[in-house]
């Protein structure tokens, strides 16, 4: 995400440092450099998506570890209960605790999954929003440049016509 932010900062710098024409109040920018930066942004987007995927994979590992731990606890509780068949109450308590642990582990897994999905969604939405803003900004700057050139051509044409009179 840092590389993407750097490219967006560079775009902003290009716009800020472009030649300003006080007559038309427009800015001239390096079209090729802007297009290069946009291509770099496109090439770096998959890295952010891969980071999100790694987060989801890490979430799955945590969930599996919690389930494994819960299963081990349940197995241990069952083994202990078998050894103490004469103590029925102890077996019942261990089973309840194991069930509670499993439910807690499942609840934590659901919460982790929801949190990771929400985080990924938020980051993707932010990247999309920023990209749309930059594209809109670039379009607006392009229109301003085109208007400036059109106006300049009109002035040049009028000056030539005046010279011919």
For 48-71, what is each residue's pLDDT tens digit? Answer: 677 877 888 888 888 888 888 878
Please report which helix (H) or strand (E) contains residue 20, including its range: strand 19-21
Angstrom distance (rounded) from CA 97 to CA 95: 5
Contact 27, 138 (CB under 8 A): no
For 105-138, what is each residue's pLDDT tens digit? Answer: 888 888 887 777 778 788 888 888 888 888 888 8
For 68-80, what is each residue's pLDDT tens digit? Answer: 887 888 788 788 7
């Amino acid at each position: 995400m840092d590389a993407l932010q750097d490219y967006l900062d560079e775009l902003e710098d290009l716009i800020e440092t472009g030649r300003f024409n006080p007559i038309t109040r427009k800015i001239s920018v390096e079209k090729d450099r802007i297009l290069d930066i946009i291509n770099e942004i496109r090439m770096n987007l998959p890295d952010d998506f891969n980071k999100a995927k790694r987060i989801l994979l890490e979430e799955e590992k945590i969930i599996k570890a919690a389930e494994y731990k819960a299963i081990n606890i349940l197995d241990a509780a069952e083994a202990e209960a078998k050894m103490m068949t004469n103590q029925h109450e102890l077996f019942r308590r261990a089973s309840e605790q194991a069930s509670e642990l499993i439910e807690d582990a499942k609840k934590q897994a659901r919460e982790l999954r929801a949190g990771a999905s929400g985080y990924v969604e938020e980051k993707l939405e932010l990247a999309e929003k920023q990209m749309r803003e930059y594209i809109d900004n670039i379009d607006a700057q392009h229109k301003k440049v085109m208007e400036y050139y059109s106006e300049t051509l009109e002035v040049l044409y009028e000056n030539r016509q005046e010279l011919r009179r």
